[in-house]
Amino acid sequence: MLALQPGNFDATIGVGVAARGLKKFDDAEKWYRKAAELDAKNCAVPYNLGLLYQDYKTAEDNSNLKKAQEYFRTYSSCGRSDKKKVEDAQRRIKDIDDTFAAIEEQKKMEAETKKMQEEADRMQKESDKQAADAAATQKPAEPVKK
């Protein structure tokens, strides 16, 4: 189709979707960006980029989730969006928010665990020092006379 109609938006997005399906994520992104050059206002571009960044590129870097979220926000406010896909985009935005909240909670728990471990280590050292000091100040036992 692209050979006959190089500026065909739907075919260009379709090649991006196919590349994504073949796990050629960088190629998929290039095709989506090419589609954006053909029709910058078409809502399919931010939706597909959001899918790409949330579902396929998150292993590379969590900042890609932020990018996905922005693409889904753009899609949601696009004006020419499909109602079901808008609902999906809004659900995905919430899922990303929940993911970041869970990551923050995990970081807090890890910090608290580390703090508790450091306190336990400090207390153990203190106890060991007290035991050593007590042993050093005790008089040696006198031998038993027969």
Domain for residue 118, yes or no? no
Say what the pLDDT of residue 2 is.
79
The Cβ of residue 11 has, within 10 Å, a number of other Cβ atoms equal to 18
Which two three-digit tokens encode residue 30?
């290039």
What sign results for the dihedral spanned by CA atoms 76, 82, 83, 87?
negative
What sign results for the dihedral spanned by CA atoms 103, 107, 113, 117?
positive
The total number of structural domains that make up the chain: 1
Per-10-residue mean pLDDT, the chain, length 146: 85 96 96 95 94 84 88 90 88 93 89 92 89 79 70
- Tell me the three state secondary structure of residue 63: helix
Domain encompassing residue 33: 9-105
Domain for residue 120, yes or no? no
Domain for residue 116, yes or no? no
Domain for residue 130, yes or no? no
Phi, psi (rounded to 5 degrees) for 113:
-65, -45
